[in-house]
């Protein structure tokens, strides 16, 4: 068995004296593991860093075997990522989200979105909005997508500012007013039809993470006996601190 693909490094663990088992999210073969001979050595170590893009050839005698990877670097982001704490936390959290996908099951849209998200960590605001959108996409990919296009109570598509924690659907300002304290805030940057530059204040970003975090915990993490990664909270805290420092100058 042999195939060629591109992938994003999610994680690495040492295997034996010099080998490493590498976990990738590949474009066409999903989340996939393989053994890299010499993967723990100094030559491969810079390539096998989480967040890096690589080209791969996978070989195994049978499809169900772990198999071996031959890997070459395409886009080595690790050095840039290490320059800022929010990027380090962000890449770690994105890898933990990708691990929620079933192994060897292709998810090409998620792969493309992960690529785009990894390219945009320079601006903390943009990085935070992209990460919230990635969490939202993961919910959809895992079968628990939210309906944020129309009000679940009235069917209108304007002034959607809440989300029902029961249905995962949007609620308009008027329909949600009597129960506003029981509904989740819907930040404007999650509404694609919103005209102009969407708001991305600290409150908007925190509301976005509160929204996706609530449904990830309910539908995905708790049923698996998991909680949110420490990196998620670290990313939120680092972005908030970075924005506060910039605004205070």
pLDDT digits over 152-168, tens only? 999 999 999 999 999 99
| pLDDT one-digit tens code per residue, 38-85 | 999 999 999 999 999 999 999 999 998 999 999 999 999 988 888 889
Which regions of the chain carry the CATH code 1.20.1440.120?
A: 81-247
The pLDDT of residue 193: 47
For the domain with range 81-247, which CATH number is right: 3.40.50.300, 3.30.1490.20, 1.20.1440.120, 3.10.20.600?
A: 1.20.1440.120
Tell me, rounded to whole angstroms, the distance of Cα 11 from its chain centroid: 14
In this predicted model, what pLDDT tens digit does every residue of 82-135 receive, in sequence order?
Answer: 888 999 999 999 999 999 999 999 999 999 999 999 988 888 999 999 999 999
pTM to 2 decimal places:
0.92
The mean predicted confidence, pLDDT, of the chain is 92
Q: Indicate the length of the chain as a whole number.
A: 249
User: Averaged over 231-240, what is the pLDDT?
Assistant: 94
CATH code 2.40.50.140 region(s) in the chain: 2-76
Report the percentage of the chain scoring pLDDT > 70: 94
Q: Tokens 């840039």: give the residue.
A: 80
Which secondary-structure segment (H or E) carries 128?
A: helix 124-141
Domain 2-76 part of CATH 3.60.140.10 = no
Structure-token pair, residue 126: 């943009």
What is the mean pLDDT of the segment spanning 180-199?
Answer: 77
Longest dimension (CA), the chain: 64
């Amino acid at each position: 068995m042999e195939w060629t693909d591109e992938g994003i490094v999610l994680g690495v663990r040492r295997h034996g004296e010099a080998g490493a088992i590498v976990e990738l999210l590949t474009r066409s073969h999903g989340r996939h593991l393989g053994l890299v001979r010499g993967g723990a050595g100094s030559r491969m170590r810079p390539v096998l860093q989480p967040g890096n893009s690589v080209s791969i050839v996978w070989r195994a005698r049978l499809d169900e075997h772990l198999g071996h990877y031959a890997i070459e670097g395409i886009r080595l982001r690790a050095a840039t990522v290490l320059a800022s704490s929010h990027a380090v936390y962000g890449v770690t959290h994105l890898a933990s989200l990708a691990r929620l996908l079933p192994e060897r099951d292709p998810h090409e849209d998620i792969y493309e979105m992960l690529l785009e998200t990894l390219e945009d960590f320079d601006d903390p605001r943009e990085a935070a909005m992209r990460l919230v959108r990635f969490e939202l996409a993961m919910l959809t990919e895992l079968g628990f997508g939210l309906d944020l296009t129309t009000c679940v109570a009235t069917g209108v598509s304007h002034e959607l500012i809440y989300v029902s924690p029961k249905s995962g659907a949007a609620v308009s300002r008027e329909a949600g007013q009597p129960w506003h304290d029981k509904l989740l805030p819907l930040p404007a940057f999650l509404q694609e039809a919103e005209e102009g530059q969407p708001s991305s204040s600290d409150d908007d970003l925190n509301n976005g993470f509160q929204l996706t975090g609530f449904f990830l915990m309910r539908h995905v993490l708790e049923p698996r006996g998991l909680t949110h990664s420490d990196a998620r909270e670290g990313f939120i805290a680092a972005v908030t601190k970075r924005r506060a420092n910039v605004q205070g100058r």
